[in-house]
């Protein structure tokens, strides 16, 4: 693959990026260490280059949300300018959770905020090693976003446009910590530096529920009188206590308890002893861009006259041809893998080093679409086919594994095209879109090869979140058995995120799967090499907790490669008979 660089004047754009009303970045620079793998750089030319792209950002017109912006985009060839909605992912250079818990407390402030540059090693000595590492998960994420965008330039519709990446320090960096807050609260550093280095939003109730063990013990006075207790609480709460009737006792007591919690919230003092504990490995990155998705490991929460051979209903033999355009209400929210929701618990770090990655903005996630729409089996067949083909294509050309595929990092954009056409092993597939084209995003845990060079997220390095999932270069440990990236991992991980959506109770899965061929396929993706459900035991308990699920998939699941999926009857019915005229065909 040919990878070229371009030089652009970003003065106006950088001023917009610095604007507190937009992205609120500082110390912005073009240079990113991964450029050294493709270009011969020196201290002078490294300051102005970017990956060559079809379009470039001129300026920001409007901030729509933390991650979404209305921007002016210019075609690099024609110079034509258009306004377009752009998604910006602020990918942290180090783990924000570890930062809030004091892992970097001994790092000098100047060093912490010093971004990498193209200089001699001795001048670069004070820059944190993780910032310079080409396998930094932020750089890996951006690199594959760029690489896949080049496929879109050549007609592969399942990739997003890429507009650039820039290193910076961001003021008021935001990240979803809903799943990490309890772990964070085990740290004394967290409590001591809340309101100093960072803030926590939308967590009042969680603090009440989760932090009693960090408060000072209650000391009871021997001479305490009833009237002293009464004086502590507002009259309306005391009145409520004495208005309880026997028939509503339980409900009233619950309400009073909630009222007391809300009333006392702002006056609570949190002091914790030193607690030891290790952060549980998670199957996601962790901010509202989906550095860490809120989806759990087990579930997510939506012609030319030629004939295709059938379609699919509740069984593989129940299929009728269709136009390919389903009407249905979209959720209508912004492209996210991420805008933060109103009630999400967020950490807001006052200043933090990030890589700002600018890409095309999609409509929404598969997860949101599933929750807000009644999706027919025929549409599910189209969705699954698209996801399988994306993985096939990336594996074929880049030896790619995503390593954290779930319904929150699969997105879609609307389309007027009724069908998509693919040529795979000399067969042409005509696949109805139902008005949507699906894409995979969030490559922060990915492993792939470009021009015989492997890029592997440092999430797999020692001590990081995905350590021990694989054992391979560039983080190979000779003392441990070799475990290479697994081409069956992604569909199994995806199946685990979809299982609960299709199957309510593992005990009833045979009945559910007999009625629904999509559910049956999802179940099969969750089977290990011995035919056991890798997600659940027969009792309904999770078979492997948290990150252990990832390790066991990598080791014990090898029968769910994307290429094998096209052998299924439901997909064979997309194969065309007859000649195809005047249609764009994606050769996979």
Instruction: Give the pLDDT band (50/70/90) at residue 218.
Output: low
Strands 68-75 and 198-201: unpaired
Sheet holding 585-587, edge to edge: 427-432, 419-424, 585-587
Euclidean distance between the first and final Cα of the chain, in Å?
16
Structure tokens at 386: 């698209």
- Does 585 have pLDDT greater than 90? yes
User: d(Cα 64, Cα 57) in Å, to the nearest integer?
Assistant: 16
Structure tokens at 266: 């702002």
Residues 6+ apart with CB under 8 A from 494: 387, 405, 406, 407, 410, 525
DSSP 455: E
pTM here is: 0.79
pLDDT at position 175: 96
Q: H or E segment at 525?
A: helix 517-525
Strands 419-424 and 585-587: parallel
Structure tokens at 230: 């009464």
Domain range annotation of the chain: 5-173
pLDDT at position 1: 85
Q: What is the mean pLDDT of residues 88-93?
A: 98
- What are the distances in angstroms from CA 321 to CA 325, 438, 455? 12, 21, 43
CB–CB of 421/586 below 8 Å? yes
Residue 55: which of 13, 1, 117 has the closest Cα?
13
Q: What percent of the chain has pLDDT over 70?
A: 76
Higher pLDDT among residues 237 and 146, named by residue: 146
46-60, 189-203, 251-265: least confidently modelled range: 251-265
pLDDT at position 93: 98
Q: What is the mean pLDDT of residues 129-157?
A: 96
Instruction: Give the pLDDT band (50/70/90) at residue 326.
Output: very low
Residue 470 DSSP SS3: coil
Instruction: Write out pLDDT tens, residues 232-282.
Output: 545 554 454 444 444 444 444 344 444 444 433 333 333 333 333 334 343
pLDDT at position 282: 37
Place of tokens 């035991």: 537
Instruction: Write out pLDDT tens, residues 274-311.
Output: 333 334 343 333 334 433 334 444 444 433 333 333 33
Average confidence score pLDDT of the chain: 83
DSSP 266: G
């Amino acid at each position: 693959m040919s990878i070229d660089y371009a030089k652009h004047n970003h003065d106006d754009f950088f001023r917009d990026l610095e604007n507190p009303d937009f992205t609120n970045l500082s110390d912005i620079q073009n240079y990113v260490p991964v450029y050294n793998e493709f270009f011969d750089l020196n201290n002078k030319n490294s300051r102005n280059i970017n990956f060559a792209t079809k379009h470039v950002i001129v300026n920001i017109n409007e901030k729509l949300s933390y991650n979404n912006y209305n921007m002016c985009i210019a075609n690099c060839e024609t110079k034509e300018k258009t306004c377009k909605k752009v998604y910006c992912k602020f990918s942290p250079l180090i783990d924000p959770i570890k930062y809030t818990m004091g892992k970097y407390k001994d790092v000098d402030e100047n060093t912490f905020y010093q971004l990498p540059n193209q200089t001699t090693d001795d001048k670069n000595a004070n820059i944190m090693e993780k910032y310079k590492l080409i396998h930094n998960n932020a750089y890996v994420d951006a690199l594959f976003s760029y690489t896949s965008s080049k496929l879109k330039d050549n007609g592969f519709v399942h990739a997003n446009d890429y507009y650039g990446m820039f290193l910076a320090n961001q003021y008021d960096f935001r990240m979803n910590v809903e799943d990490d807050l309890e772990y964070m609260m085990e740290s004394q550093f967290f409590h001591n530096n809340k309101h100093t280095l960072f803030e926590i939003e939308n967590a009042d109730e969680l603090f009440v529920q989760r932090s009693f063990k960090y408060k000072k013990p209650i000391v009871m006075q021997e001479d305490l009188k009833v009237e002293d207790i009464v004086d502590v609480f507002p009259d309306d709460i005391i009145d409520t206590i004495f208005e309880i009737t026997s028939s509503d006792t339980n409900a009233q007591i619950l309400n009073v308890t909630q009222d007391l919690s809300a009333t006392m919230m702002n006056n609570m003092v949190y002091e914790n002893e030193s607690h030891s504990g290790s952060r549980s490995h998670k199957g996601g990155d962790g901010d509202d861009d989906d550095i860490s998705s809120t989806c759990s490991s087990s579930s997510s929460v939506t012609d030319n006259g030629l004939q295709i051979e059938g379609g699919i209903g509740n069984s593989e033999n129940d299929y009728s041809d269709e136009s390919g355009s389903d009407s249905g209400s979209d959720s209508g929210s912004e492209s996210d893998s991420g805008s933060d929701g109103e009630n999400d618990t967020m950490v807001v770090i006052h200043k933090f080093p990030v890589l700002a990655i600018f890409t095309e903005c999609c409509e929404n996630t598969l997860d949101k679409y599933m929750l807000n729409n009644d999706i027919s089996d025929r549409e599910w067949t189209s969705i699954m086919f698209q996801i399988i083909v994306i993985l096939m294509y990336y594996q074929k050309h880049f030896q790619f594994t995503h390593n954290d595929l779930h319904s929150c990092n699969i997105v879609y954009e609307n389309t007027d095209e009724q069908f998509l056409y693919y040529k795979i092993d000399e067969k042409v597939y005509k696949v109805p879109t139902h008005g949507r084209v699906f894409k995979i995003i969030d490559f922060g845990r990915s492993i792939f090869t470009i021009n015989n060079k492997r890029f592997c997220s440092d999430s797999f390095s020692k001590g990081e979140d995905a350590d021990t999932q694989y054992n391979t270069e560039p983080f190979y440990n000779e003392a441990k058995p070799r475990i290479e990236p697994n081409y069956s991992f992604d569909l199994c991980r995806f199946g685990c995120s979809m299982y609960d959506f299709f199957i309510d109770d593992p005990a009833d899965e045979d009945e559910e799967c007999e009625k629904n061929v999509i559910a049956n396929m999802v179940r099969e993706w969750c089977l290990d090499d011995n035919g056991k459900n890798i997600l659940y035991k027969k009792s309904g308990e999770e078979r492997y907790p948290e990150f252990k699920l990832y390790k066991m998939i990598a080791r014990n699941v090898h029968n769910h490669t994307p290429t094998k999926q096209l052998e299924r009857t439901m997909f064979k019915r997309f194969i065309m008979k007859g000649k195809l005229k005047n249609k764009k065909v994606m050769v996979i």
